[in-house]
Amino acid sequence: MNGLQRVGWRVQVLVLESSGRAGCGARAWKWCGLGSACQLAPAVAAPTRWAGQAGHSACRLASSGGDQLPADETEPEGQDPAIRGGMPTKKSPSQSDSARHNVHIPPIDRPTQRQHQGESERARAIDMTTSSSAPSGDLTSQILLALSKASPIQTADAFPDAQFQDVKAALDRLGSRSMITYETIEREEALLEPEAEQIAEHGSHEARVFEALKQAMEGLTVQELEKAIGDKNVTKLGQGKAFREKWISKSKDGKLVATADSIQDVTRAQLQKIKETRTGDAKVIADLKKRKLIRMQKIITFKADKGPKFALEIQKEETDLTADMIASGAWKSATFKPYNFKALGSDQNAGALHPLNKVRHEFRQIFFEMGFEEMPTNKFVETGFWNFDALFVPQQHPARDLQDTFYISDPKVAEKPRPQGEGQDTEAYWNNVKEVHQNGKYGSIGYRYPWSADESLKLVLRTHTTSISAAMLHKLAATKGPDGRPKPARYFSIDRVFRNETVDATHLAEFHQVEGVIADYGLSLGGLMEFMEIFFTKMGITDLKFKPAYNPYTEPSMEIFSYHKGLNKLVEIGNSGMFRPEMLEAMGLPKDMRVFGWGLSLERPTMIKYKISNIRELLGHKVDLGFIERNPAVRLEKE
């Protein structure tokens, strides 16, 4: 333990030896390695030794003009004069060693007042090594010392002024070395409010009113009572309670008089007991809390006891076996810190999945479980043919206006569709779509308008992934099974679509669409409703309701609703229907092949799962990256 105090040109250095050997009483000067002379205290232990070694218990450094050794002392043999005790001293190039060691040493047999003060300071410092009031920075030593005197201990009682986090850190440090064991104790303490402190000291309001009236003998008016007590609020509150207790009454002349010979101030006694013990009867505590005289405070303390490796000093534990330790053999006597294989490693910032990707993964797993094939949806830009015309959407439909659709400015148009596989006749398909729009076909009268090829070839940002479904169904029509007919198929897609909408809390210009398509023979509307029940149940969505709707490319069409318990109402969750013959037969699909189609937004269930009220907090440039990192993977409540 080192203490350093500089007074003018005089520096006092305190070096305490932990061994505490008894001194010989001799006063001697020694070179302490600091470039100055040291004076050993008379009652200090130990033979004369150099600073940095264990022999010093206390030394006094006096420097008033130089740092010369006393005549009877010499420097340690082989030690550089510039470095003694590990501390270098500056030396001027022009300054010789003889000049550098010119120092005035006060007489040994005439101690000054400052020396007496130094002796007392050293005595206090030595006493601190055995006192429980050691500095708070060495709380581990305090705990070990306290346990050596009494075990177990309560940290709140033993170290009332220590901070909680400091106590916890010290206990963890000692506990990890098996030097102590400890357990956490939680309790509630009752603390007095300021008003209760006054009652505990001076008495309750009603008791003070009674005592004032009893001393008056002939009674007091209210104004006189207020003056006698000195507190208007105490007088007002105390009167009511004193009247209820029948301690006082009002005389005929209107004065207040004491009617009881003596009283027992229960409230004061209760508060004094609580102040002393910080606890009390449960009913009393509840009553005083109701009167707002006390408050409860949660106290966390620790009960510490000696561990299997208890000692008064913490032995240094090596954390690594080094080459130097092996070469010198120091490893044989070294104590190694045991490995903690249960310790958690540092968090590695390896990125985080966006909540939409997490929910998208869950949806994909549901589709795969039900035998669906994922469609290639990497075409954000489509022609008006695939996005609208192939779906039997008329060229005058409002959905094709600039207010709803993003049109590409460069290039503006594309080429006519080309075959993407064997057996595809895209020219015939092109003509069939044109004919069904203009004049009608396959039992339909069509829309009866002049169909424009230029309008059909305009490039747009796709408004739905149903354009991909149309291309996949056209490809399916060209494939033939063993019976010469297309095989049943199930397709799905989850990808981004674009619509020219005003951005607000529930709408974005780009979002994600989840779409499913089933092509098979003999399908019916009842089968679609049954399948929707199964599909949405796998997402944890039940109690479906279907309402008629209109879509240009499906007939019949249905909107899908589900009862939302949080909102306490039906909420639309998707759209569905059976694709029209005008769309399917133009591709070349057989008349008896029916196709279910349904779709929903990916953002809506994600917002529900993550309790997001503004869609802009989920997708776009305003998304909080911390939100993405904090939220765990979502799991749909599958049934």
Beta strands in 282-410 (DSSP E): 294-306, 373-374, 381-383
Quick one: pLDDT at residue 304? 92
Quick one: pLDDT at residue 577? 92
E strand or H helix at 495? strand 489-498
Binned at pLDDT 50, 70 and 90, residue 137 comes out as very low
Domain-located, residue 201: no
Closest to 464 measured CA to CA, from 529, 414, 519, 399: 399
CATH code for the domain in which residue 364 is found: 3.30.930.10
Do the beta carbons of residue 61 and residue 38 sit within 8 Å?
Answer: yes
Q: What is the DSSP-derived secondary structure letter of residue 463?
A: S
Number of structural domains the chain divides into = 2
Binned at pLDDT 50, 70 and 90, residue 638 comes out as low
Quick one: pLDDT at residue 468? 92
Binned at pLDDT 50, 70 and 90, residue 480 comes out as confident
Binned at pLDDT 50, 70 and 90, residue 325 comes out as very high
Which of 79-93, 362-376, 529-543 is the least confident region?
Answer: 79-93
Residues 599-635: pLDDT tens digits? 988 888 888 777 777 888 888 888 888 888 877 655 5
Region 168-181: mean pLDDT is 90
Domain-located, residue 421: no
Quick one: pLDDT at residue 381? 93
Task: Report the alpha-carbon distance of residue 600 to residue 598 in Å, rounded.
Answer: 7
Angle of helix 266-277 versus helix 205-216 axis, rounded to 10: 130
Quick one: pLDDT at residue 513? 92
Task: Report the alpha-carbon distance of residue 626 to residue 411 in Å, rounded.
Answer: 39
Average pLDDT, the chain: 76
Domain-located, residue 565: yes
Domain-located, residue 440: no
Domain-located, residue 87: yes
Domain-located, residue 512: yes
Domain-located, residue 581: yes
Long-range contacts of 311-314 (CB under 8 A, 24+ apart): 311/144, 311/179, 312/141, 312/144, 312/145, 312/148, 313/144, 314/140, 314/144, 314/173, 314/174, 314/177, 314/179
Quick one: pLDDT at residue 570? 81
Domain ends where: 81, 109, 128?
128
- To the question of pTM greater than 0.75 for the whole model, the response is no
Beta strands in 385-464 (DSSP E): 459-461
Residues 36-54: pLDDT tens digits? 333 433 333 333 333 333 3
Tokens of 101: 């060691």
Sign of the dihedral through C-alpha 248, 251, 257, 263: negative
Task: Report the alpha-carbon distance of residue 234 to residue 215 in Å, rounded.
Answer: 17
Task: Report the alpha-carbon distance of residue 553 to residue 597 in Å, rounded.
Answer: 10
Q: What is the DSSP-derived secondary structure letter of residue 335?
A: -
Quick one: pLDDT at residue 568? 77
More confident residue, 511 or 51: 511
The domain of 571 spans 359-380+463-630
Which of 106-120, 257-271, 416-430, 473-487 is the least confident region?
Answer: 106-120
Domain ends where: 128, 161, 194?
128
Task: Describe the chain by its helix, strand, coil percentages, rounded to 5.
Answer: 35, 20, 45
Region 153-182: mean pLDDT is 89
Domain ends where: 88, 106, 128?
128
Do the beta carbons of residue 81 and residue 98 sit within 8 Å?
Answer: no
pLDDT at position 203 over 80: yes
Domain-located, residue 409: no
Residue 292 sits at the vertex; the CA angle it makes with 288 and 293, to the nearest 5 degrees, is: 60
